[in-house]
Amino acid sequence: MFVEVAFPISSYTQFTYRIPKKFIDQIHVGIRVKAPLGKRLVTGIVVAKSAESDYSGKHKNIKELIDLQPVMDNKLWKLVQWMSSYYFTPVGQVVKTVLPAKLSTKYTPPTTGLVVYKSFGDNYEQLQKRAPIQAKVLQFLSVQERAIPIAALKHMVSSPNAVCKTLFDKGLVDLDEVTNLPDVTGFTFSKIHKEIAFTNEQKLVLGELSKKLNSRKFSPTLLHGVTGSGKTEIYIEIVRQALEMNKSAILLLPEISLTPQIAGRFRSVFGDQVALWHSRLSHAARAWTWKQICAGQFNVTIGARSAVFAPLKNLGVIIIDEEQEYSFKQESPAPRYHAREVALMRGKLNDAVVIMSSATPSLESYYNHVKEKYSYLRLNKRYGGAPYPQVQIVDMIKEQEETGKFQQVISSKLQKIMESKFAKGEQVMLLQNRRGFAPILRCGDCGHVETCVQCKIALTYHSHERLLKCHFCGYETSNIPIACHKCTSINLKLLGVGTQKVEDVIREQYPGIKIARIDFDTARNIPALTRILEKFAAGEIHVLIGTQMIAKGLDFDNVTLVGIVNGDTGLFLPDFRSGEKVFQLIYQAAGRSGRRKPGEVIIQTYNPDNPVLIHAARLDQKTYYNIALSERQELNYPPFSWLIRLEIEGTKKELVTTHADKIRKKLSPSPKGIDILGPAKCYRERLRGKYRMHIMIKSNKTHDTNGEKLHSFLQDCLAVGLLNRLPSSVKILIDVNPVSVL
């Protein structure tokens, strides 16, 4: 007998091995094995088993079995195979993404060794003479009330384990072990209880969802609910119904750390049935959680994008909250998958309901609803009948002319309204989607901009840490130039506004007001974030300043003003999605205002005529989406076409250019309906020390309804050696349905 084994390497080849007799009955598709690959013994996964092999050379043997049972069931395995072909990624590499890194079915949670005193024995005096250290330990243990961790003896002896073992062999102590279950409750937020009384609108939506759930058929649904319309209550109810049918559920959240409120609500309703799954769990915790899910200990998994792989059996519903979020896309390494796409395929394989939920759906999902590919449910009313906030645009150029003050961070209008809120004891949120103090350090004489040594990107000045930081590669330096590196002028200027600058300005202007800031620098981890949010909820903070981290999912009764400090941030990036992103961010942020009391929103901008801002200010999604869709159609971009982006990168600029050209040549001639753009330099031409170029391949949906044409075109090109003879210093990344083309 032979098996095909896929390894987590960047080769599409699978390798054939002979199964030694002793393993024949134990080897199945889906179990992991160790087999020789070159000179090493490498873990791979069995993808096929057969009686014969086409390979004429000498077969090597499988050396070891890692699992006794397949680590994924048939349906999950099918999903892996689909991902492999859809995202052009070797099966072994997909498996590496799907399974927790240190998963082994033989895994046991770590233990702590304990020791407890038994007796002094017959001859303690002699022990004192011959082995004074052992005697000392025994003496210490004899006065302890209960067993203590062996490691706690470290302060007395250098090798407590060995000493305790010797004492045990002499019959003077007993040893024991306790199991430390990995902490899956790393979330310290409190359980949130709320009485739920559904509105008529919610009841209608729930009725439809129940029908879908009961039909036990794949059913992709867009749940389009305005901010504050009570979507979380709907999630809870539909998951409750799924559990009643003995089905399981997955809830995907964009960044779980940013939505402790939703996770808290779920814990309070479903208790220990809920597993939390996110990138900050340790390897051990992930492995343990995976196994517990396999064993049916958890029926609900809540997590960030990789929770879409949770090995739940009998999956009934997958909910994707804020489905338009880009964090659902894995950028690196391959497979560059989108959790929404994977959820849809998983739903199909499991006959499950897939709910894509958002206040601001992605244009793709919106278009799929228009084309009736998804069913559509709408929540129009804010919960409790709260009115929409009043939104005003402040023209910052006019503001400059009127006040004579340049580079104002907070306009006089925003100041005035803020002060009125302070007077009433209401709270304010200020969104500035840039962290740090100032995003640019520029020479006033020659215009030279201080950039990262690795990336061709301006360094951001962080005043609180006194550092220049690169927000892409993490490079930072405390060596802040006092003279221009190019012309030695000392006329250096900090330009632009980051969250730290907003904080400083407010602090200076309103000394008595309590301020907190949420961005990647202040809220790196869940406890830090939770602390700030809890203080804000308790009213101990008056103004909350933050990046997009504060724009979504948060619900505070007393917030009646949201200020968008610079509505133009990101608006002019050369990406066909930049307008959509800015619209969604502003729309979402606006939704934080006035959830219980009448609220206001101020958008400051230097481009008051920009349609993105105008429609965001009117909270008019439909008009904006229609404008955006017609733009996309004109340019043949998604959702009107399928798009695959090939990124060619390497440390040597010339090699990257030559090979980008070579790859482009091998892509022609392309079939009708498939357009190829490039190669062109990426907008972020140099990142992390690498030069980057890309080629875009677009396939219009009128010729290629489900994208198969584009896939088979690229597949064929790969098969005839599209990527052959690439030097090892040049890498090519294949990004299917990219969310960013920068």
Judged by the rule CB under 5 A, the positions of this chain that interact with Zn ion are 443, 445-446, 448, 452, 454-455, 470, 472-473, 475, 484, 486-487, 489
Longest dimension (CA), the chain: 96
Which tokens in the block code for residue 385?
């009948």
Closest of 697, 696, 692 to residue 657, by C-alpha? 692
Smallest gap from Cβ 264 to Zn ion, in A, equals 36
As to burial, measured by CB atoms within 10 angstroms (0-12 exposed, 13-18 middle, 19+ buried), residue 537 is middle
Closest to Zn ion by CB, 243 or 573: 573
E-only strand ranges, 241-306: 248-252, 274-277, 300-303
Q: Which is nearer to Zn ion, 194 or 493 (CB)?
A: 493
Q: How far is the CB of 696 from Zn ion (least distance, A)?
A: 25
Q: Which two tokens stand for residue 504?
A: 């400083």
The residue among 205 and 484 lying less far from Zn ion, judged by its C-beta, is: 484
**Of 42 and 473, which has the nearer Cβ to Zn ion?**
473
Q: Which is nearer to Zn ion, 481 or 527 (CB)?
A: 481
For residue 448, what is the DSSP state? Answer: -
Torsion of CA 710, 715, 716, 719, to 10 degrees: 170
Write down the least CB distance from residue 473 to Zn ion, Å.
3
Report, in Å, the least distance between residue 657 CB and Zn ion. 21
The single residue listed with the structure tokens 């202040």 is: 522
Q: In angstroms, what is the minimal distance from the CB of 487 to Zn ion?
A: 3
What tokens appear for 25 in the block? 């009955």
Q: How far is the CB of 234 from Zn ion (least distance, A)?
A: 42
C-beta closer to Zn ion: residue 211 or 493: 493
Torsion from C-alpha of 525, 526, 529, 534, nearest 10 degrees: -160
Please identify, using beta-carbon distances, which residue of 239 and 443 lies nearer to Zn ion. Answer: 443
Min separation Cβ 471 and Zn ion, Å: 8
Distances, alpha carbon 158 to alpha carbons 114, 117, 477, 523, in Å:
17, 19, 41, 39
Closest CB to Zn ion among residues 262, 682: 682
| Length of the chain in terms of residues written | 742
CA 348 → CA 76, 310, 317, distances in Å? 12, 16, 11
Angstrom distance (rounded) from CA 640 to CA 645: 16
Minimum separation from the CB atom of position 492 to Zn ion (A):
8
CB-based contact 600:389 (threshold 8 Å): yes
DSSP assignment string, 650-667: ES-HHHHHHHHHHHHHHT
13/489 with CB nearer Zn ion: 489
Least distance CB 478 / Zn ion (angstroms)? 16
> Among residues 217 and 486, whose Cβ is nearest to Zn ion?
486
Beta strand spans in 322-438 (E):
353-358, 375-379, 390-395, 427-431
Question: Would you say 452 or 656 has its CB closer to Zn ion?
Answer: 452
Minimum CB separation from Zn ion for residue 258, in Å?
24
417: alpha, beta or left? (left if phi > 0; alpha if psi -120 to 50): alpha
How far apart CA 380 and CA 231 sit, in angstroms, is 11
Burial 215-253 (b: 16+ CB within 10 A, else e): eeebbbbbbbbbbbbbbbbbbbbbbebbbeeebbbbbbb
- H runs (alpha helix) in 339-378: 339-350, 363-370
| Shortest Cβ 688–Zn ion spacing (Å) | 6
Grouping H, G, I as helix, E, B as strand and the rest as coil, residue 414 is helix
351 phi and psi, to 5 degrees? Answer: 50, 50
Q: In the bound complex, what is the minimum distance in angstroms from residue 660's beta carbon to Zn ion?
A: 22
Residue placing its CB nearer to Zn ion in the complex, 387 or 444: 444
- Minimum Å gap between C-beta 285 and Zn ion is 31
Q: At residue 609, what is the residue type?
A: D
Q: What is the spatial distance between Cα 730 and Cα 728, in angstroms, rounded to a whole number?
A: 5
CB of 460 to Zn ion, least distance (A): 10
Three-state DSSP state, 512: coil
191/485 with CB nearer Zn ion: 485
Instruction: State the minimum distance, in angstroms, from the CB of residue 38 to Zn ion.
Output: 35
DSSP 450: -
**Residue 445 or residue 631: which is nearer to Zn ion going by CB?**
445
Whole-angstrom distance, CA of residue 628 vs CA of residue 576: 10
3-state secondary structure (DSSP) of residue 20: coil
Contact between 248 and 381 under an 8 Å Cβ cutoff? The reply is no
- Decide whether 445 or 504 has the Cβ nearer to Zn ion: 445
CA distance 528 to 471: 20
Contact 597, 424 (CB under 8 A): no
